[in-house]
Structure formats: structure tokens, C-alpha cells
């Protein structure tokens, strides 16, 4: 509906959109009336829906690749078509490659729901781009693992802002024929990256700094890094130095997952960070690759479905989220993407009955080693009070510096 | 009266489009470059600052601007080096029947999607790709691959005006030059080149500006290479005002380039 309006107004509306995109909505940073979250974050006062209305006919979804498959990538992989028929909500999907992209796209107000990782959620909440959710409107919410509910990245001051989707770890992928012996440490892309000079790949986002910090946690204990998202000036500088040294051996940075698949298939990249789904797709295309969780642990994600504050299709958005976290669909996504499902009943629905064991769905011990993506803020997330930590703006600056050096 | 109204109706929409959509968008970009962002949410905050422009003069960004200019210049030079002999052959040497065929051959790639062509080059320069197998070496993703790809992509925009210039060049001029005792090289230097220069300048506007603004081919075949276009892209999500400042740079470079080209009289040739 929105798009037909734009067509109607033609050039004028197009300009208005341009102007809006150019200006952005000015942040409400001056006000102090809104409630404060840890780190001095200001949260706009928005209300959750109290009851569902009639479905609006469509829902615009912003999702990580592999989360919302409607059969257009692979006719056998489709958990959207049935929902469209039963709910009367046509699903329009737009995928994104990084959390920064998701935040940017969500800000346009054109999307009704988003699968946000922990490094995007708080930014979306603080900017008023998403609103609290009424969990009682999501019939599958009671079946979601308690350990995923009401976490610092999906709730603020006891108000839930989203429905957990699932979680997993960023892995180290390598070409089994070209990288020998098989790597078991992130050192293969940092200190020992020279062995694959010009063939290393890395994720193209400031959040990748955490991967370097995680490696430094294990290899340089004297830096005293306790949480890869809580870095003071010295610790950040050490991570930046590591990434600058890594850059000499980088072939290319990736954020488009299909490009990474192609790079590993052709051998222009032989080792680097990845998601399980990428390894699965690459293997499906007969590329000799393997993905492992290195001994240092890994960064990872615990994703949340959120509802856009400016959404015109909220009923469809709730119905869609409810569908995504329903046992069968949550199981399908978890297997396709290669992650642990959020719904405990999903474990009985997976094609591979061991899926929840393999992906440690209920293994809190395992996930204590996985450092979920989080937004760095100036208040140290690891509890230190004697220093100021570097915030995401500083990470952004550092990352731009690394990429442009 | 009604004629004037008719004229206004005819010219009004395109003028409105030009002013509002083209110049308006540029003005918005320029204005945005003076704002800042919220450090936490990356949202644009309307606080006036000159910092974005000051940051452009850091060594990092000067290097990126220099690198982008170098790429655009190299692509333009390569396009000229290929287009001039090719257009000469097409317009002067090839038999008339072949001429149409050659022209079609130059034009047909323009019908294929830009992305398809860039991805074709991605597979051609990859290890074990066509280049590797045929010549035993490949530039790999990076500077060389990017210059090659962009040269391929923009070549038709150089061939066409140069071809037209060759076609327009009267045979009698060449004969007169020969009759007056000029050797072929002197004829080329003193008759052909002056006639071609405006056409080359016109073609170079396309090859130069398209290379300057490109950010997609860079991502596909450029490896970790960072140019103005990709720097803008990276900052669009993280720091929109700075991205706008970077965008202003490429707009400014193009304005300067067009002013320089105007002096050659090439703009009358478009």
C-alpha cells in the first residue's frame, strides 16, 4: 500500500523520501523524561499492543538471510507460503548482511518486524524504531526457553521488546583441501594468517572487532579483557592493531553471504569467519569446506523478533512472529540456518533428532562460552567502574580506520 | 497565450524534475554533511559541525580520494587506448557490411546487466579462472581486477563518440594533408587528433565519472580495496553526515572535471 502511494505522488514523493532519508529523524537525546536503562540510555515511552486486530493483508519483514524462506531460494525450503494462506498476510522479505544495515533499514519505518541481533536491539529501542511487545499475544511464548527471555538485549527495565528467535555461534570455516592441518584456533586468521596469505576473509562490520578481542582474551591475558564488548582504550587499540595486521592477509571482507559462498567455492578465500548456514550452502554446492568452533570460544548471536513502532501491519507482524517461533517452523529455521531454536518444543520437530543436542539448545554451559553480539557502550559491560569503555561510535571509527588503512 | 501555456506544460515537468530531484537531492546531501550523529543509535542529530569536512583531510581519506582518482584516470586512459584504434578500424577500414556488425558487437554488452558482467569478471579473475588458465596468471581481486573490469564496462561509452568523430572526419581532409606532403604520422597528429579530441573528452566524461562513483564492481572484484564509493557505502549505515561529506567530494571532482572538459569544447559535441 505504501509503495502504491509513492507511485501516485511520483517525483514529489520520491524527493520527500530522499529528503527523509537524508535528514533521518532527529534523536530525542535531550529529553530526560523517558526511562533510563543501563549506560544512561534513554528509552522513548511507547506502548505495546493490547490486542490483535484484523490482519492487514501484508507484513514487511526485515530478516537475516536464511530466517524467512518462501521457497524462492530453494523450493524445498519454504515456511512462509502456508502462513500466507492461513493468516491472510502476504509476507514481503528484505534480507540484510549486518546489524548496521538492519538498523538503517528499520529506521525508514517501512518494515513491520525485524530479526535483530544483540548489537542492534538496544540501538533500535533507544531510537524509538521498535516498540515493546505484548508477549501474551504470542501463543508460543510460554514454550520459549526461559533462559532467553527478558535478557539485557531484549528487554529494558523489565519491559519485553521482542520475542527470542534462536541463538548460535560464529564459526571458523576453512577449505579442507587447502588448509592443513585443520585449524582449531582463531589464530589461523590472526597470528598465523600468513599461512593463507591473501586468502583470509573477515566479516565486514565494526562488531568484528569483538572477534579480535575474544582472541586476545585467550592469547594476551595481560590485557585483562573480560568481555569482548567491554574494551577500554588500550584494549581496543590492541584489537585494532591485530585487525590491521590481519588485513595484510585478507582477500576480501564479506557481509553478503552468497559472495562468501562463491569465494570459498572458487578458493579465493580459504579460511575465515562464517555462519553455519553459509557452510551448509557451500557444502550443498560441493565446496570442500568445514566449519568449526575454535577452542577460544566464539562470538555469536541471540536474535530477537521486534515490532516496528511505525508499523501499519502490527497484527500481521504479531501473527508472523508467532508463526516463526512455533515449534515446527522454529525447528525448520534452526536446522536450515544452523542454530539452536528458541522454542523448546522445536527440539522434537527437527528432522535430525540430535539437532538440539548438536547445537546445544539447552546447554547454558556451552553458551557461556559464546559471546552474543552486544552494543558496546561507555559504561563497561563487564562491570568495571574505574575506566570508561569505548562505545560503538568509537568502534565504528576504529573499523573505518582499519578498512581504509 | 495558449502557445505559452503549452510550452510551460511541456517544459514544466522536466524542469521540476531537474531542479527538485537532481539539484534538490544534491542540496540535501550537502546540508546533511554539516550535521552529526548520535554516538549510540547512529541517528542523525541536527547539530552544526564542520568536523565531517575536516575529517576528509586526514591521510586516510586523502589516500582514498587519490586512489579513486587514479583508478578513474587509468580506466579512462585504457578506454582511449582501446577505443581509438577500434573506432578507426570500424569507421575507416572495415567494409560497410562489417561496420554495422562491429557497432552491434560494441553495443550488445550494454544490454547485459551490469551485475552479470561484474560477476563474470569475478569468476574470470579468480584462482583457476579463465585468466589464470589462459595466461598462467591473474591479478586476483583488487586494484588490477577493478581497473580491468571498469575498462570493460565503460568501453562502449568511449567507442561510440570516437567512432562518430571518425565517421564525420571528411576523407578530403586526409587527402589534402597527404597532397601537401604530410606523412601518415603527421596527418594523424595534426589532422586526426584535433578532430578526435572533443569526442575523446566527451567519452571521458562517462568513463571518468562512472569509475569515480562506482561502488558495486569494487565490492565484487575489488577485494579489500576501498574507494570513494565504498567509503560512502560503509558510512551510510554508520555515519550518514560523513558519507554525505564524502559524496560532496565526488560531486566536486566531477564539477571541476566538467569545467576542464568544457574548455576543450567537447560539451558542444554531446
What are A330's three cell numbers? 522454529
Q: Is the pLDDT of residue A317 over 90?
A: yes
Q: Chain A residues with CB inside 8 Å of B64's CB? A: 404
Compute the residue count for chain B.
Answer: 270
Contacts 24+ apart (CB under 8 A), A311-315: A311/A111, A311/A112, A311/A113, A312/A1, A312/A2, A312/A56, A312/A112, A313/A56, A313/A57, A313/A58, A313/A59, A313/A60, A313/A89, A313/A112, A314/A49, A314/A53, A314/A56, A314/A112, A315/A52, A315/A53, A315/A54, A315/A55, A315/A56
Residue ranges of A 286-325 with Cβ closer than 8 A to chain B: none
When comparing pLDDT for A41 and A5, which is higher?
A: A41
Q: How confident is the model at residue A40 (pLDDT cuts 50, 70, 90)?
A: low
Predicted local confidence at residue A115, as pLDDT: 96
Percent of chain A with pLDDT over 90: 62
- Alpha-carbon distance of A118 to A230, in angstroms, equals 14
Predicted local confidence at residue A245, as pLDDT: 95
Q: Chain A residues with CB inside 8 Å of B29's CB? A: 22
Q: Considering chain B, what is the average pLDDT of its residues?
A: 88
CA dihedral B176, B180, B181, B184 (to 10 degrees): -30
Give me the CATH topology for the region B56-269: MetI-like fold (1.10.3720)
Q: Where are the domains of chain B?
A: 56-269
Contact of B62 with chain A, judged by CB distance below 8 Å, is answered with no
Residue A31, phi-psi category: left (phi > 0), alpha (psi -120 to 50), beta (remainder) = beta
Q: Chain B residues with CB inside 8 Å of A24's CB? A: 43-44, 240
pLDDT tens-digit profile of A194-250? 999 999 999 999 999 999 999 999 999 999 999 999 999 999 999 999 999 999 999
Predicted local confidence at residue A38, as pLDDT: 53
Asked if the Cβ–Cβ distance from B234 to A391 is below 8 Å, we say no
When comparing pLDDT for B140 and A110, which is higher?
A: A110
Looking at chain A, the domain(s) classified CATH 3.40.190.10 span 41-167+301-371, 171-274+375-404
Q: Considering chain A, what is the average pLDDT of its residues?
A: 87
Q: Is the pLDDT of residue B32 over 50?
A: yes
The DSSP symbol for B269 reads G
**SS3 label, residue B124:** helix
Asked if the Cβ–Cβ distance from A18 to B141 is below 8 Å, we say no
Q: Please tell me the CATH code under which domain A41-167+301-371 is placed.
A: 3.40.190.10
Q: Chain A residues with CB inside 8 Å of B43's CB? A: 24-27, 107, 127
Predicted local confidence at residue B269, as pLDDT: 55
Q: Please tell me the CATH code under which domain A171-274+375-404 is placed.
A: 3.40.190.10
Q: How confident is the model at residue B267 (pLDDT cuts 50, 70, 90)?
A: low
Averaged pLDDT for residues A387-392: 90
Asked if the Cβ–Cβ distance from A126 to B234 is below 8 Å, we say no
CA–CA min distance B97, chain A (Å): 42
How many CA atoms lie less than 13 Å away from B19 in the CB half-sphere? 6
- Alpha-carbon distance of B9 to B5, in angstroms, equals 6
Asked if the Cβ–Cβ distance from B238 to A100 is below 8 Å, we say yes
Predicted local confidence at residue B188, as pLDDT: 84
Q: Is the pLDDT of residue A32 over 60?
A: no
Asked if the Cβ–Cβ distance from A26 to B44 is below 8 Å, we say yes
Most confident residue range from A314-328, B116-130, B190-204: A314-328
Q: Chain A residues with CB inside 8 Å of B17's CB? A: 11
Most confident residue range from A27-36, A161-170, B179-188: A161-170
Q: Is the pLDDT of residue A37 over 70?
A: no
**Count of CB pairs separated by less than 8 Å, A with B:** 124
Q: Chain B residues with CB inside 8 Å of A259's CB? A: 219-220
- Alpha-carbon distance of A121 to A127, in angstroms, equals 10
Asked if the Cβ–Cβ distance from B44 to A401 is below 8 Å, we say no
Q: How confident is the model at residue B1 (pLDDT cuts 50, 70, 90)?
A: low
Contact of B128 with chain A, judged by CB distance below 8 Å, is answered with yes
Predicted local confidence at residue A377, as pLDDT: 84
Q: Is the pLDDT of residue A21 over 70?
A: no
Asked if the Cβ–Cβ distance from B41 to A11 is below 8 Å, we say no
Predicted local confidence at residue A365, as pLDDT: 81
Percent of chain B with pLDDT over 90: 35
CA distances from A380 to A121, A232, A298, A300, A308 (A): 18, 8, 20, 19, 29
Amino acid at each position: 500500500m505504501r509503495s502504491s502511494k509513492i507511485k501516485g505522488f511520483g517525483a514529489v514523493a520520491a524527493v520527500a523520501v530522499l529528503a527523509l532519508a537524508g535528514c533521518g529523524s532527529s534523536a530525542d537525546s535531550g529529553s530526560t523524561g523517558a526511562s533510563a536503562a543501563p549506560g544512561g540510555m534513554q528509552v522513548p515511552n511507547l506502548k505495546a499492543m493490547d490486542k490483535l486486530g484484523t490482519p492487514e493483508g501484508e507484513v514487511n519483514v526485515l530478516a537475516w538471510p536464511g530466517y524467512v524462506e518462501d521457497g524462492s531460494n530453494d523450493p524445498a525450503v519454504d515456511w512462509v507460503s502456508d502462513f500466507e494462506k492461513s493468516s491472510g498476510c502476504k509476507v514481503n522479505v528484505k534480507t540484510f548482511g549486518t546489524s548496521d544495515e538492519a538498523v538503517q533499514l528499520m529506521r525508514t519505518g517501512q518494515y513491520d518486524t525485524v530479526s535483530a541481533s544483540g548489537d542492534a536491539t538496544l540501538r533500535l529501542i533507544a531510537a524509538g524504531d521498535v516498540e515493546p511487545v505484548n508477549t501474551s499475544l504470542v501463543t508460543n511464548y510460554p514454550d520459549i526457553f526461559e533462559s532467553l527471555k527478558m535478557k539485557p538485549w531484549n528487554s529494558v527495565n523489565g519491559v519485553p521488546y521482542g520475542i527470542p528467535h534462536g541463538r548460535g555461534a560464529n564459526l571458523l570455516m576453512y577449505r579442507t583441501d587447502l588448509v592443513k592441518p585443520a585449524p582449531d584456533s582463531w589464530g589461523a586468521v590472526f597470528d598465523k594468517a600468513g599461512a593463507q596469505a591473501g586468502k583470509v576473509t573477515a566479516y565486514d562490520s565494526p562488531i568484528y572487532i569483538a572477534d579480535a578481542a575474544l582472541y586476545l582474551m585467550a592469547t594476551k591475558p595481560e590485557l585483562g579483557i573480560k568481555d569482548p564488548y567491554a574494551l577500554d582504550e588500550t584494549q581496543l587499540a590492541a584489537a585494532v592493531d591485530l585487525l590491521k595486521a590481519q588485513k595484510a592477509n585478507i582477500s576480501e571482507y564479506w557481509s553478503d553471504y552468497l559472495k562468501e559462498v562463491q569465494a570459498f567455492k572458487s578458493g579465493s578465500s580459504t579460511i575465515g569467519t562464517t555462519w553455519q548456514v553459509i557452510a551448509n550452502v557451500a557444502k550443498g554446492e560441493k565446496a570442500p569446506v568445514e566449519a568449526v568452533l575454535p577452542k577460544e570460544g566464539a562470538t555469536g548471536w541471540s536474535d530477537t523478533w521486534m515490532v516496528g513502532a511505525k508499523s501499519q501491519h502490527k497484527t500481521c507482524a504479531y501473527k508472523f512472529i508467532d508463526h516463526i517461533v512455533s515449534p515446527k517452523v522454529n525447528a525448520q529455521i534452526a536446522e536450515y540456518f544452523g542454530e539452536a531454536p528458541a522454542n523448546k518444543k522445536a527440539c522434537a520437530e527437527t528432522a535430525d533428532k540430535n539437532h538440539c543436542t548438536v547445537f546445544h539448545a539447552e546447554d547454558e554451559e556451552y553458551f557461556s562460552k559464546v559471546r552474543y553480539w552486544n552494543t558496546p557502550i561507555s559504561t563497561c559491560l563487564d562491570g568495571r567502574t574505574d575506566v570508561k569503555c569505548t562505545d560503538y561510535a568509537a568502534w565504528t571509527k576504529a573499523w573505518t580506520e582499519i578498512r581504509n588503512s | 497565450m495558449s502557445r505559452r501555456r503549452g510550452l510551460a506544460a511541456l517544459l514544466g515537468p522536466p524542469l521540476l524534475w531537474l531542479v527538485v530531484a537532481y539539484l534538490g537531492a544534491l542540496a540535501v546531501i550537502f546540508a546533511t554533511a554539516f550535521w552529526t550523529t548520535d554516538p549510540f543509535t547512529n541517528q542523525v542529530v541536527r547539530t552544526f559541525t564542520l568536523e565531517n569536512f575536516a575529517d576528509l583531510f586526514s591521510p586516510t581519506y586523502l589516500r582514498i580520494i587519490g586512489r579513486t582518482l587514479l583508478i578513474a584516470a587509468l580506466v579512462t586512459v585504457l578506454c582511449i587506448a582501446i577505443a581509438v584504434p577500434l573506432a578507426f578500424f570500424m569507421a575507416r577500414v572495415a567494409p560497410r557490411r562489417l561496420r554495422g556488425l562491429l557497432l552491434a558487437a560494441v553495443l550488445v554488452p550494454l544490454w547485459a546487466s551490469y551485475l552479470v558482467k561484474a560477476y563474470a569478471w569475478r569468476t574470470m579473475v579468480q584462482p583457476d579462472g579463465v585468466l589464470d588458465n589462459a595466461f598462467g596468471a591473474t591479478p586476483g581481486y583488487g586494484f588490477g581486477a577493478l581497473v580491468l573490469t571498469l575498462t570493460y564496462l565503460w568501453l562502449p561509452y568511449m567507442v561510440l563518440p570516437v567512432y562518430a568523430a571518425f565517421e564525420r572526419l571528411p576523407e578530403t581532409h586526409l587527402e589534402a594533408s597527404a597532397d601537401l606532403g604530410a606523412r601518415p604520422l603527421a596527418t594523424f597528429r595534426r589532422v586526426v587528433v584535433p578532430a578526435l579530441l572533443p569526442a575523446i573528452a566527451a567519452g571521458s566524461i562517462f568513463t571518468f565519472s562512472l569509475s569515480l562513483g562506482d561502488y558495486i564492481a569494487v565490492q565484487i572484484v575489488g577485494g579489500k580495496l576501498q574507494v570513494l564509493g565504498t567509503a560512502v557505502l560503509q558510512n551510510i549505515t554508520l555515519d550518514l553526515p560523513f558519507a554525505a561529506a564524502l559524496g560532496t567530494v565526488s560531486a566536486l571532482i566531477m564539477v571541476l572535471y566538467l569545467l576542464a572538459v568544457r574548455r576543450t569544447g567537447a560539451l558542444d559535441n554531446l
